[in-house]
Amino acid sequence: MPADLALVTDSTAYLPQEAVDRYGISVVPLSVAVGDTALAEGVEISPKDVAEALRGKQRVTTSRPSPETFAAAYRAAVEAGARGIVSVHISGELSGTVEAARLAAAEAAVPVRVVDSRLVGMALGYGVLAAAEAIADGRELAEVAEAVTRRTAQTSGFFYVDTLEYLRRGGRIGAARALLGSALAVKPLLHLDGGRIEPLEKVRTASRAIARLEEVAVEQAGEREVDIAVHHLAAEDRAEPLAERLRGRVPGLRELYVGEVGAVIGAHAGPGLLAVVVSPR
């Protein structure tokens, strides 16, 4: 990637490491606290760690990076020769991360375009990759930010969770909805809508919910050229077969990525999470 524009994101993009390395993307970690111990996502705590903590009924919370953490990332980019920075982050409806980035950007030595993707996981990640490709093509700062917005506006994220309890605990979905789901013993399908996690459908069994998740992804892709990511937490046995079925059912599929979510999203979604991101090219 050319050194004159730098690209920063946060750890909830869950990008493949190969892409991070190839494009020289700076990844700022969010924090996960297990009990009273705060740990950096992707550095000090793994998805397996958080799944075990949740199953053990330990208290797990998350927090945004500090503005100073972003300021340090921006300073490093400037010292490496950047004359501008694009910083792309998790939905501001889900985290204060983008707010912290904006506070740091206001004090940076070079122009910084902070973009609220209004997404998370590889839904955010595809926006970051759009920025990386635009920078590699020699685009200017405003054009790179516009490339992110175009890609994220078309990208959809759908997911299944075994229980809404973890989302309720973290305040990421209304308590009334969580209680309703528990009372009916349903298996909820959710989606990202307006930057928030919202209910999509209620299904009676896990197998039916996963089958419906597959159908929704196929419908969303249609005949378009798309990239697809399948995310999971401690559910590889569900994720890999789903990915293979999508490979056979989506005619315009370009790239398919399967990866476990990190500790931050895992803390809110819980073990058993299965998600599909559909991102038109």
Q: pLDDT by residue (tens digit) across 198-257? A: 888 888 888 999 999 999 999 999 999 999 999 999 899 999 999 999 999 999 999 999
The yes or no reply on domain 5-30+65-154 and CATH 3.40.640.10 is no
pLDDT higher than 90, residue 165: no
Q: What phi-psi label fits residue 116: left (phi over 0), alpha (psi between -120 and 50 degrees) or beta? A: beta
What strands lie across the sheet with 156-160, from one edge to the other? 196-203, 187-193, 156-160, 274-280, 226-232, 253-260
Please write the tens of the pLDDT for every residue from 105-137: 999 999 999 999 999 999 999 999 999 999 999
As beta bridge partners, residue 80 has none
- Specify the pLDDT at position 109: 96
- Specify the pLDDT at position 120: 95
Cα-based distances in Å from 202 to 84, 115, 179, 195, 212? 45, 32, 13, 20, 10
Share of the chain above pLDDT 90, in %: 66
- Specify the pLDDT at position 265: 86
Sole residue written with tokens 């980035």: 101
Give the pTM. Answer: 0.91
pLDDT confidence band for 176 (50 / 70 / 90): very low
For the chain, what are the domain ranges? 5-30+65-154, 156-280
pLDDT higher than 60, residue 1: no
User: Could you give the CA distance from residue 21 to residue 65 in angstroms, rounded to a whole number?
Assistant: 22
Mean residue pLDDT of the chain comes to 90
* Residue 163 per-residue DSSP state: -
Closest CA to 6 of 104, 135, 126, 150: 135
- Specify the pLDDT at position 125: 97
Between 248 and 266, where is the model more confident? Answer: 248
What's domain 156-280's architecture? Answer: 2-Layer Sandwich (3.30)
pLDDT higher than 80, residue 184: no
